[in-house]
């Protein structure tokens, strides 16, 4: 594997070919906030919180999602800039409308000055990061939980037949959830679909 050197926030950072900018930054202990990223999972690129500004020779700076963008030699990365911060602030405002009590979102919101009063509140808790769905599919290979419907109607749903067998003893995806949605959905399904099996 070829060695790569790039600059992140003014700092020279070494990386290997095939690495993402996020990974390169993490290795150098440079923090980039993420919501839908997990080191065990294929990058998803859904939350857009990890966006950074990238400048490669000659081209104007552009926004890319660092959890997907491949590290390349000599590129210049800025993890904070007015543009980056504005995207993060807006993304957080949009998500806080759905999960106003999420500890993780509230902390990030504070950091980026998100004003959740600007967006119409509509608590629905799940922010569709897909961590639970992808974890169960990619790591556990059980597909006990999935997305149903599309777009703004998209929701997570346990598949009762599988969940009743697998989830009680697993629960590995629960701590990944940035909001309380997963727990709530599980309790709900548990009560409805497999009463009495519980904890």
By the criterion CB under 6 A, which residues form the site for ligand FES?
34-37, 45-50, 65, 67
Indicate the residue among 43 and 190 with the shorter CB distance to ligand FES.
43
Partner in contact with 198, chosen from ligand SF4, ligand FES, other proteins, none, beta carbon below 5 to 8 Å by kind: none
Q: Which of 64, 65, 129, 189 binds ligand SF4 (CB under 6 A)?
A: 129
As measured in angstroms, the least distance from the Cβ of 134 to ligand FES is 12
Full 3-state SS string of the chain = CCEEEEEECCEEEEEECCCEHHHHHHHCCCCCCCCCCCCCCCCCCCCCCCEEEEECCCCCCEEEECCCCECCCCCEEECCCHHHHHHHHHHHHHHHCCCCCCHHHHHHHHHHCCCHHHCCCCCCCCCCCCHHHHHHHHHHCCCCEEEECCHHHCEEEECHHHHHHHHHHHCCCHHHCCCCHHHHHHHHHHHHHCCCCCC
Partner in contact with 21, chosen from ligand FES, other proteins, ligand SF4, none, beta carbon below 5 to 8 Å by kind: none
Partner in contact with 34, chosen from ligand FES, ligand SF4, other proteins, none, beta carbon below 5 to 8 Å by kind: ligand FES
Q: Is 83 in the site for other proteins (CB under 8 A)?
A: yes
As measured in angstroms, the least distance from the Cβ of 168 to other proteins is 28
Give the CA count within 13 Å in the CB-facing half-sphere of 173.
32
Q: Is 156 in the site for ligand SF4 (CB under 6 A)?
A: yes
Q: Beta strand 3-8 with 11-16: parallel, antiparallel or unpaired?
A: antiparallel
Partner in contact with 118, chosen from ligand FES, other proteins, ligand SF4, none, beta carbon below 5 to 8 Å by kind: other proteins
Q: Which two tokens stand for residue 21?
A: 């900018």
Indicate the residue among 97 and 145 with the shorter CB distance to other proteins.
97
| Sheet (strand 11-16) strand order | 11-16, 3-8, 76-78, 51-55, 62-65
- Which residues make up the interface to ligand SF4 (CB under 6 A)? 126-132, 135-136, 140, 142, 144-145, 156, 163, 166-167, 170-173, 176-179, 181-182
- Which residues make up the interface to other proteins (CB under 8 A)? 43-49, 51, 63-65, 68-70, 83, 86-87, 90-91, 94-95, 97-98, 118-120, 127-128, 147, 150-154
């Amino acid at each position: 594997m070829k060695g790569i050197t790039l600059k992140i926030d003014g700092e020279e950072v070494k990386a290997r070919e095939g690495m993402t900018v996020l990974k390169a930054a993490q290795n150098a202990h440079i923090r980039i906030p993420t919501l839908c990223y997990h080191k065990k999972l294929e990058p998803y690129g859904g939350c857009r919180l990890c966006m950074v500004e990238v400048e490669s020779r000659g081209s104007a700076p552009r926004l890319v999602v660092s959890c997907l963008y491949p590290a390349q030699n000599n590129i210049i990365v800025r993890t904070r800039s007015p543009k980056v911060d504005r995207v993060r602030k807006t993304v957080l405002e949009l998500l806080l409308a759905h999960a106003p009590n999420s500890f993780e979102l509230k902390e990030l919101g504070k950091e980026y000055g998100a004003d959740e009063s600007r967006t119409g509140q509509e608590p629905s808790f799940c922010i569709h990061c897909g961590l639970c769905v992808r974890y169960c599919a990619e790591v556990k290979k059980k597909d006990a939980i999935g997305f149903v419907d599309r777009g703004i109607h998209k929701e997570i749903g346990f598949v009762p037949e599988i969940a009743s067998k697998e989830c009680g003893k697993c629960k590995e995806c629960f701590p990944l959830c940035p909001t309380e949605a997963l727990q709530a959905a599980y309790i709900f399904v548990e009560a409805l679909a497999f009463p009495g099996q519980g904890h």
